[in-house]
Structure 1
Amino acid sequence: MSTVPDTAVPQDDTTRYLCAAAHVDFRYADAAIREFVVEPTRPVPPSPGFQPANVLVEAIASRTRRKYRDGALAVLAGLFIWLAWGTWLLYGWLIVGVAAAIPSMLVAAGKSGTGTGTKLATAARTRKAGGVIAVIVGILLIGSLASGALQGAFGSSSRDRYYYDDVYPYEPPAQLWPYALIPLVLIGVVLILDRLFVWNVLRTRFGYGTRNRPPAGPTDAEEQLLAVSPRRFLGNLDRYRTPAPQTAGGAPLIVHRGYNPFVGAGLHREPWSMALPLEKLSQDTKPDGSPFDELTTISLYDRVREAMSALQASNALSPDQRLRSLKIIDAVYASASELIDHLPDSTTDLYLSHVDFPPNSTLPATEVAALRRQPREWARYYLCFQVETWDRDLVMSSFLHAAVDETTLYLEWTPCVLPPVREEYRAVDKLNSNIAVPLGQALLRWVKLPASILGRTVHTLGLIRPLRREREIINPDAYGTLRTLREMAAANEVPNYFQLVDIERYEKIMHSRLIPAISRILRDSGYSPATFERQAEMVVNNDVTIEHNFGAFNVGGKVSGDMSGATVRAGAEK
């Protein structure tokens, strides 16, 4: 088991929130396991700003705890139903429980319809309410039929059915419903113990008071739950503890599946591209008499990097001097499906050495240089500029791709924003120290158990399995990443006005360096920058006002909406 050394730094807020999310939201925990743990060939995506191994350990422990809890509740609920069948105790509990669950179901339906229009939200609420009513009617109907059948089988007739004859009397069964109170009470005990355990974990390990303390070793803190967790889950955790090896002159390789190649960067924000004819200047030399520079794709990338790196010396342009920590990263993005399609190619070994292993985490310098000069249809080199702001809670990333020949310059600029962690996951900072809170939550869950017992039973029996593998068929989804743990926990919108204007600030600052740099590169290479500057002016002046954020961020699909005129697009999960 791993331990944390005495020199460990205090745990960062993002890791705290994501670890807490694994215990607060079972959907997040299961999605994290499904995405990163069960597929041994899925690559480890870049995860700046938090510790993915810690989050995955908590997700596994949370799922294990929930399966044992829900299994116990399913058994106790089945015993209660058997003992209380046909009595007022059973029907009363069912009706009260489902009725108590209706408000929360309607709220959940309203959230699922948010941002999709009033009609869709209303339809979602109607479906939820209809489902609840159908459950109540079905339970009452089945109970009535069963009760009638029992009365028909054991009811009185001209001859007493409880006696075969005078010698062998058959006594009527004793009333069992009082014994049904025992499993009913035990259900409450299980729920209370579970809520107290989660409440204690959230407060003592991930609460606000723990932010200045070194984190406990996750495998030590969850040792008991991990001991009864599936071995196949734990076997893949080591990949997330070991940093990816770096090669001199190489670049990280990100293999993705789905629409969005920029895994970890969040959502696209107003990307643009342009193809420009290169027009020679009338002069034969630079103004100082020196010969013009040669314009190549490599030289353009190098000159842009040099110009943008000047922002790292800025003192006043950004709040808290965040630009001084500007990251300039070389990266290659490849499609998993196309990578598998090109396995017969000799160069594919640089990306995927064997189908039984994940894609390589880095590419050698020779392949990176080749992609700079000549991109592949399924693999592209990008120069990335990344700023982590608001204590790493808001991340701005911009990706530049370029291509140059003797007559044309092609430029592609894709800014992305990773919104803050969802508010419900940050609520761990506001946990009440009053023990009555988890007790009240347990009581409410006890009352609403009839509405959730079917889902709990399915959860107990359900398994998270690797993708199905057919003989001689390779599933490309096993080799590509869709989203990072941080993206799974991202909010749908930026909740803070200052954060919104900071997105505008960094985007405009990037443009203020990029566009003059390319103009100088063209001029120093003997080409007129006039056409580029005209098109760039249209891009920059496309939106000069700051508008309210109406929730354009949506990780569920391709969406357009107002976020200072931005167009936000994200691929739907496959």
Structure 2
Amino acid sequence: MSSPATTANTGSPKLRDDTTRFLCGAAHRDEHFADAAIREYLVEKTRLIPRSPGVNTGAVLREAVAGRMRRKMRDSALLVLTLVLLLTATATALMPWLIVAVPLAFASAGFTIRPLVRQLSTPTGRGPLIVGAIGGSIALGIVLLKAGSSFERDYYNGYGTRYSSSSDAETVIAIITLALIFGVLLADRVVVWLLLTKSFRRNRFRTRPGQELWQNEWKVRQLGHGIYANALQRYPDEEDEHTPDDPGQAQVVVYRGYEPFVGSGTMFEPWSMALPLKPAENEEAKPRLGFTLTELYDHVTNDLVTTGRSPSLSPGHRLRDLTFGDRVVASAVELIDHLGDPETQIILPDKDKAPVRVVDGSVVDDLVNKPKEWMRYFRSFQVETWDRDVVVSAYLTLGLDDEMLYVEWTPCVLTPIEAKYREIDKWSPYSLRPLGEALVDMLRFPATLPKRFSNAVMWMSPIDQPPGTFVSDKYGARVSIRELASEQSVDNYFQLTDVERYIKVLEARLLRTIGEFLQSKGISVTEFMEQAMQITNNNVHITGPVIASNIATTGRARTGNVSTGKGRKR
């Protein structure tokens, strides 16, 4: 497929790139986020994950692996100390601690976990549950045994004084063990605090080992990398997510689930139109001028990339940096169902490896003119704004025959990283907060033992695939690493209106360009302009999983699927 012209990328203020370091911090603060990222990206060696705008995926995954290993080491040490404590402390001494810990654990519950993140961060199979049940039974047995033994040894004299046969040595060991438990909890909190306030501080953040900002920084940040060494090689730690697409190739997206544009966020009022191609009145006596879809794609692209010439059209002159590229999107389920097809051999040449990341122009040309039900071609357009906190993408696909032109336009919005992950820039490295957090951890420690036991013994295994079968979920992506931690709304009113601005400007330019192109080919644009007016003035859109067979209108104000403040996606 021929390559459209592009414009120089100059004149716009430089975008600050904070998303990677915020997500690196999230990998150490939020175990559910880290485990979900590892499961989606690293566990399945045959899964193809598309690039995330504004994110160094390799750097975030390495921090996720390090955070997971640090937590496993911490909880393994705490379990050993807990076993010593159970063997030395009396049941009557431990019971008040447990009574305090349970309500405190509920009161100080952590972040709200979204269903998808929770689903991806769960253990694989029943193995961890079985091991956890065995460990819990052993601990319960020790407590009951000690309680029974204490009851038999304890006695009362005539005045009601209670004597215990517990040795002084056991009491000393129990006190030392309690101090060690607190020491482990405090050390873990201090390490995380140093990572968040020093390693991931703006203008200091590095993705590769170099000068240490604090002692043993890179030893902590490289924990567990050897376990996932082969998987991490697919995601270089200096991966450039902003490299322009090769004009002779198209990126491949293999998705699982409902939404095909993985990594682009939430679909925002997509629409489509089917336009009859009729000669203009003054062209009836002349033969109709023909055109190809490739010609129309390139004409539209050449026009859209010049949209941002005026700085007043987009805040920060962001439309000047509009990028475009070719995308081949395929369903993982159908990809496996069509293993024998020649097209599948192009996307998935080796069933034991991930689908290819890019295909050449010949594949694109074929899909443009002969799309498959399960594999389509799209021309993508993307603009990053608000220091890459908000990304607006749009996907265009066309269909054509001698009598009809079909246009489908799907805008998508990628919202900012969750606010709880961005607050690290407000924290001081010299705060006493780690000490306070460690004290709270100590108070609620007995109630967290089941979770800590699960962390210590939990493992992630690939999806079971019996010999001779192929499971589609092993190949398709469902979510990008940025979408795992994105807000469910934009941050403020200006961001919401900017989303509207970029989508409306591109939409209006697209419709005008198509109209002018058709008119230049001697085709009547009367019906096209009528449908275009409905789109721009009456909020024509596709909602939910049902696609209307014709253009429908609604009377409500156009707000799309993106909300502000505490609103949620609809």
Q: Tell me, what secondary structure is at the counterpart of 1:359?
A: coil
The equivalent residue for 1:163 is none
The answer to whether the Cα contact below 8 Å between 2:21 and 2:205 also exists between their aligned partners in 1 is: no
- Between the two proteins, the alignment pairs up a number of residues equal to 499
Q: Deviations over 1:304-342 (max 9, x none)?
A: 112212214333211111011000111111111211211
Q: Deviations over 1:364-420 (max 9, x none)?
A: 111100111111111111111100001111100011111011122211111100001
Whichever residue aligns with residue 87 of structure 2, its letter is: W
The equivalent residue for 1:200 is 194
Distance 1:235 1:563 in 2: 50
- Residue 174 of structure 1 pairs with residue 178 of structure 2: no
- Residue 100 of structure 1 pairs with residue 104 of structure 2: yes
Q: Deviations over 1:52-81 (max 9, x none)?
A: 111111111111100000111122223223
The answer to whether the Cα contact below 8 Å between 1:44 and 1:239 also exists between their aligned partners in 2 is: no
The answer to whether the Cα contact below 8 Å between 1:11 and 1:212 also exists between their aligned partners in 2 is: no
- Residue 239 of structure 1 pairs with residue 234 of structure 2: yes
The answer to whether the Cα contact below 8 Å between 2:348 and 2:355 also exists between their aligned partners in 1 is: yes
Whichever residue aligns with residue 235 of structure 1, its letter is: N
- Residue 412 of structure 1 pairs with residue 408 of structure 2: yes
2:44 to 20, 35, 39: 39
2:425 to 422, 429, 433: 429
The answer to whether the Cα contact below 8 Å between 1:333 and 1:379 also exists between their aligned partners in 2 is: yes
- Which has the higher mean CA deviation after the structures are superposed, 95-104 or 141-150? 141-150
- Residue 266 of structure 1 pairs with residue 265 of structure 2: yes
Q: Tell me, what secondary structure is at the counterpart of 2:488?
A: coil
Mark the CA change 1:173 to 1:23 in structure 2 (over 3 Å): closer, same or farther. closer
2:206 to 210, 215, 221: 215
Distance 2:342 2:352 in 1: 18
The equivalent residue for 2:27 is 22
State the 1:203 CA deviation: 1.3
State the 1:449 CA deviation: 1.2
Mark the CA change 1:323 to 1:10 in structure 2 (over 3 Å): closer, same or farther. closer
1:80 to 69, 80, 85: 85
Whichever residue aligns with residue 265 of structure 2, its letter is: G
Distance 1:11 1:487 in 2: 19
- Residue 229 of structure 1 pairs with residue 224 of structure 2: yes
Q: Tell me, what secondary structure is at the counterpart of 1:472?
A: coil
Whichever residue aligns with residue 183 of structure 2, its letter is: V
Distance 2:16 2:233 in 1: 20
Q: Tell me, what secondary structure is at the counterpart of 2:62?
A: helix
The answer to whether the Cα contact below 8 Å between 1:314 and 1:321 also exists between their aligned partners in 2 is: yes
Mark the CA change 1:45 to 1:112 in structure 2 (over 3 Å): closer, same or farther. closer
Mark the CA change 1:219 to 1:27 in structure 2 (over 3 Å): closer, same or farther. farther
Distance 1:447 1:53 in 2: 37
- Which has the higher mean CA deviation after the structures are superposed, 528-537 or 374-383? 528-537
- Which has the higher mean CA deviation after the structures are superposed, 246-255 or 299-308? 246-255
Q: How does 1:29-428 map to 2 (within 5 A)?
A: 29-87=34-92, 89-105=93-109, 149-150=148-149, 174=167, 176-177=170-171, 179-207=173-201, 211-213=202-204, 215-217=206-208, 223-225=218-220, 229=224, 231-241=226-236, 249-284=248-283, 293-428=289-424
State the 1:522 CA deviation: 2.2
Q: Deviations over 1:248-271 (max 9, x none)?
A: 622111111111111110001111
The equivalent residue for 1:497 is 493
The equivalent residue for 2:476 is 480
Whichever residue aligns with residue 535 of structure 1, its letter is: Q
State the 1:285 CA deviation: 7.5
The equivalent residue for 1:557 is none
- Which has the higher mean CA deviation after the structures are superposed, 458-467 or 237-246? 237-246
Mark the CA change 1:144 to 1:257 in structure 2 (over 3 Å): closer, same or farther. closer
The equivalent residue for 2:439 is 443
Q: Tell me, what secondary structure is at the counterpart of 2:387?
A: coil
The answer to whether the Cα contact below 8 Å between 1:83 and 1:180 also exists between their aligned partners in 2 is: yes
The answer to whether the Cα contact below 8 Å between 2:66 and 2:222 also exists between their aligned partners in 1 is: no
State the 1:456 CA deviation: 0.8
State the 1:99 CA deviation: 2.0
Mark the CA change 1:259 to 1:13 in structure 2 (over 3 Å): closer, same or farther. same
Whichever residue aligns with residue 72 of structure 2, its letter is: K
Distance 2:283 2:400 in 1: 21
Whichever residue aligns with residue 326 of structure 2, its letter is: D
Mark the CA change 1:357 to 1:518 in structure 2 (over 3 Å): closer, same or farther. same
TM-score scaled by length of structure 2: 0.80
Distance 2:314 2:15 in 1: 25
State the 1:16 CA deviation: 1.1
State the 1:147 CA deviation: 7.1
Q: Deviations over 1:412-438 (max 9, x none)?
A: 111100001111110110112333111
Q: Tell me, what secondary structure is at the counterpart of 2:311?
A: coil
Q: Deviations over 1:201-229 (max 9, x none)?
A: 1111112xxx2346251599765347752
5+ unaligned residues in a row in structure 1: which ranges?
1-8, 114-137, 158-170, 545-551, 553-561, 570-574
Q: Deviations over 1:340-368 (max 9, x none)?
A: 21111123221111012111111111110
5+ unaligned residues in a row in structure 2: which ranges?
1-13, 116-136, 157-163, 545-555, 564-570
State the 1:145 CA deviation: 6.9
Distance 1:356 1:364 in 2: 22
Mark the CA change 1:24 to 1:323 in structure 2 (over 3 Å): closer, same or farther. same
Q: How does 1:549-564 map to 2 (within 5 A)?
A: 564=558
Distance 1:392 1:172 in 2: 66
State the 1:156 CA deviation: 7.5
Distance 1:215 1:18 in 2: 13
Taking every aligned residue pair, what percent have the same amino acid on both sides? 40
State the 1:483 CA deviation: 1.4
The equivalent residue for 2:462 is 466
Mark the CA change 1:354 to 1:316 in structure 2 (over 3 Å): closer, same or farther. same
The answer to whether the Cα contact below 8 Å between 1:32 and 1:485 also exists between their aligned partners in 2 is: yes
Mark the CA change 1:172 to 1:446 in structure 2 (over 3 Å): closer, same or farther. closer
The answer to whether the Cα contact below 8 Å between 1:29 and 1:62 also exists between their aligned partners in 2 is: yes
State the 1:14 CA deviation: 1.3
Q: Deviations over 1:465-507 (max 9, x none)?
A: 2222211111121211111111111111111111111001101
Mark the CA change 1:83 to 1:10 in structure 2 (over 3 Å): closer, same or farther. farther
Greater RCO structure (CA 8 Å; 6+ sep): 2
The answer to whether the Cα contact below 8 Å between 2:508 and 2:536 also exists between their aligned partners in 1 is: no
